[in-house]
Amino acid sequence: VIEVAPLAYMRGRTLNDAFIILDEAQNTTPEQMKMFLTRLGFGSKMVVTGDVTQIDLPNGAKSGLAIIREILHDIDDISFQELTAEDVVRHRLIGDIVKAYDKFNEARQAPRSIRNP
């Protein structure tokens, strides 16, 4: 049985013997992420996907996905996989677009003295 359910309907549930996927997790708050992760039941596996460069939360709101590595990095049986522009399986230009955005963001974060000597 495949069930598609909004995150809002996860509260109070325990998901036993299931393969659980949370997609677009960059748009969860830290509280929503904790609520989702704590639904894991016996015999289940969980995958959380998202792209922290595509957060659509209101300005100033923290992303649950953006902070999850910091919170869970020391827990055995939890691992993280980061994908890069080389992993893109869409049009060839998408990898170039991702790299251009990365370069732009790195330049914006560099100290002003490095950007304009």
Q: For residue 27, give the CATH number of its domain.
A: 3.40.50.300
Model confidence band, residue 86 (pLDDT cutoffs 50, 70, 90): confident
Question: What pTM value is reported for the model?
Answer: 0.77
Same domain (yes/no): 68, 112: no
Range of the domain at 101: 83-117
Model confidence band, residue 114 (pLDDT cutoffs 50, 70, 90): low
Q: What is the DSSP string of 19-75?
A: EEEE-SGGGS-HHHHHHHHTTB-TT-EEEE---GGG--SPTTPPPHHHHHHHHHTT-
Percent of the residues in the chain that have a pLDDT greater than 90, as a whole number:
68
Same domain (yes/no): 35, 1: yes
Residue type, 39: R
Model confidence band, residue 117 (pLDDT cutoffs 50, 70, 90): low
* 10: pLDDT strictly greater than 70: yes
Same domain (yes/no): 14, 70: yes
Same domain (yes/no): 94, 70: no
Q: Residue 37's pLDDT is what?
A: 97
Same domain (yes/no): 43, 97: no
Same domain (yes/no): 42, 24: yes
Cα–Cα distance measured from residue 37 to residue 21, given in angstroms and rounded to the nearest whole number: 11
